[in-house]
A and B are shown apart, each in its own frame.
Chain A
């Protein structure tokens, strides 16, 4: 596991912060949202990682996206962690690097309201086309009211 942490450290340089193995075989890397495209490209193309999925969640003061990549030979999963502003959750799309990520980005947009800049086909995926605008069902503040 130290080997993969070292490799990621050297490839990402300053862009990857707090690289550590939190639980067995699971490595988390914090990345600034401006660098996500370059970092994902390094992992997916240069290091030949397998795209698994992205997961989103809402914290008290931010939104958080984790991009999970599989390193099957090392039996590890490396997750790139990105924090987004609560007021303006916006991040670059990765569809031009990983075509398969398109659907999960659409899902994160409609359920949590995160904008993916440059997504070629930002339409509702799980919810109906007539879904109320600005109503994001996975946001927690809806239930506090």
Chain B
């Protein structure tokens, strides 16, 4: 992007209010309008692919669990699928159901976390408080099942490490029913809210062609009407054994992304209930022992809350991988900023960046600099202020 006199660079990051990992975005702006976006990553590159080459097959499960703190089960899920694809094995039925329960509970808490933060960035903190309040019982459920609120360490190659005890199931079911009621109430309130609708409608639109060009996956793709979901496209775990549907929307704006994510929470509750029905009162193996990983290569996937999680592994028959390639969903979702941000205003950037759910942590800083004078124009507070002002304007107009 050539710097002409009118263009101002707005740096976002490397420590960024919308992202869990530090990343850097340079927004090239002409007045309020954005004309180009650059993405720079690697501020927290931990070399996990390289580290994986020095770990035993069993240890890698726990290594990849540390990739993401929010959806910590998606990488072990994809990794175990990869090794099972390489070996060509199937896992016991009870383990399949337990895997799906963990995967879906994680989807609920991850989507609620997104909804809360999306509300926060619009200056609508009621949504934030509600969503996070209703996320809390999901974490309690995790504690009952695995002993941990996050990093559940439930997965191993060939099955799961811990059983869901039959005597715990009535308690889980009761909590799940409460969560479902709260979810329905929250979803009704959020989607009927005129301010949120006005603020999110037609903001950050992605077309089907954009999705294809960038290879985007998950709710980002489904909100634009691209019907991809690994759980259905390549059935694994208990997903082919239960009834559920893939949620899609048409417009591809941030509102549709919210609709898709929130509706998916209800689908997740449906899946978990059926899984609990299937394992209740029965006994069964929860894992098979895998002694050796043979020579060869395998590819495994899992539909994480943010989209398809992809692992490729090459083995030479020894104790650790020769090559372990990991592609997280954000790797293909984040570049869509190039399509969705351009032509929008600075006040919408926060929510567009948040719209693809690129793993957040809380407030750091956003600063607006004048490229020519190197003078600071806005900091994060000002940007939040801008966003709030726009929300207020819309509120009055309605």
Report the minimum CB–CB distance from A41 to chain B (whole Å).
13
Verify A68–B310 contact, CB threshold 8 A.
yes
Among A70, A73, A138, the one with the most B-chain Cβ atoms within 10 Å of its Cβ is: A70
**Residues of A with C-beta under 8 A to B338:** 99
**13 cross-chain CB contacts under 8 A:** A22-B296, A23-B85, A26-B297, A50-B212, A50-B215, A51-B212, A52-B310, A53-B332, A57-B325, A66-B312, A68-B312, A127-B42, A138-B50
Partner of B325, one of A28, A53, A102, A137: A53
Complex CA distance for A66 and B324, rounded to whole angstroms: 12
**Residues of B with C-beta under 8 A to A50:** 212, 215, 228
Size band of the interface chain A makes with B: 20 to 34
1/0 contact string of B290-310 vs chain A (CB within 8 Å): 000000111101000000101
Verify B323–A98 contact, CB threshold 8 A.
no
The reply on A91 being an interface residue by CB < 8 A is no
List which A16-74 residues lie within 8 A (CB) of chain B.
Answer: 22-26, 28, 50-53, 55-57, 66, 68, 70, 72-73
Complex CA distance for A31 and B71, rounded to whole angstroms: 36
The reply on A100 being an interface residue by CB < 8 A is yes
Verify A55–B213 contact, CB threshold 8 A.
no
**Residues of B with C-beta under 8 A to A73:** 233
List which A73-91 residues lie within 8 A (CB) of chain B.
Answer: 73, 75, 77, 79
* Number of residue pairs spanning A and B whose beta carbons lie under 8 angstroms apart: 90
**Residues of B with C-beta under 8 A to A125:** 40-42
Complex CA distance for A125 and B45, rounded to whole angstroms: 11
Given contacts A75-B233, A137-B50, A138-B50, contact A26 B298 (CB under 8 A): yes
Given contacts A55-B323, A137-B50, contact A100 B42 (CB under 8 A): no
List which A96-145 residues lie within 8 A (CB) of chain B.
Answer: 98-100, 102-104, 124-128, 137-138
Verify B213–A98 contact, CB threshold 8 A.
yes
In the complex, besides A50-B215, A55-B323, A103-B39, 15 extra interface pairs with C-beta distance below 8 angstroms are A24-B85, A26-B297, A28-B297, A52-B215, A52-B310, A53-B215, A53-B325, A55-B325, A57-B323, A70-B228, A98-B213, A99-B338, A100-B216, A100-B332, A138-B49
Interface residues of B (CB under 8 A from A): 39-42, 45, 47, 49-50, 85-86, 88, 212-216, 228, 233-235, 296-299, 301, 308, 310, 312, 314, 322-323, 325, 327, 331-332, 335, 338
Complex CA distance for A24 and B216, rounded to whole angstroms: 24
Given contacts A24-B85, A100-B215, A127-B42, contact A53 B327 (CB under 8 A): yes
Complex CA distance for A1 and B359, rounded to whole angstroms: 36
**Residues of A with C-beta under 8 A to B310:** 52-53, 68
**Residues of A with C-beta under 8 A to B308:** 52
Report the minimum CB–CB distance from B319 to chain A (whole Å).
17
**Residues of B with C-beta under 8 A to A25:** 85, 234
Interface residues of A (CB under 8 A from B): 22-26, 28, 50-53, 55-57, 66, 68, 70, 72-73, 75, 77, 79, 98-100, 102-104, 124-128, 137-138
Report the minimum CB–CB distance from B264 to chain A (whole Å).
18
Verify A103–B312 contact, CB threshold 8 A.
no
Report the minimum CB–CB distance from A73 to chain B (whole Å).
7
**Residues of A with C-beta under 8 A to B335:** 99-100, 102-103
Complex CA distance for A22 and B327, rounded to whole angstroms: 21
Verify A26–B85 contact, CB threshold 8 A.
yes
Complex CA distance for A66 and B299, rounded to whole angstroms: 12
**Residues of A with C-beta under 8 A to B235:** 75
Complex CA distance for A56 and B327, rounded to whole angstroms: 12
Verify B234–A23 contact, CB threshold 8 A.
no
Report the minimum CB–CB distance from B89 to chain A (whole Å).
10
**B86 to chain A: closest residue by CB:** A23
Partner of B215, one of A24, A26, A51, A57: A51
Verify B314–A57 contact, CB threshold 8 A.
yes
**Residues of B with C-beta under 8 A to A128:** 42
Partner of B298, one of A23, A55, A102, A138: A23
Verify A99–B214 contact, CB threshold 8 A.
yes
**Residues of B with C-beta under 8 A to A28:** 297
**A99 to chain B: closest residue by CB:** B213
Among A53, A102, A103, the one with the most B-chain Cβ atoms within 10 Å of its Cβ is: A53
Complex CA distance for A98 and B214, rounded to whole angstroms: 7
Among B215, B301, B338, the one with the most A-chain Cβ atoms within 10 Å of its Cβ is: B215
Complex CA distance for A77 and B297, rounded to whole angstroms: 13
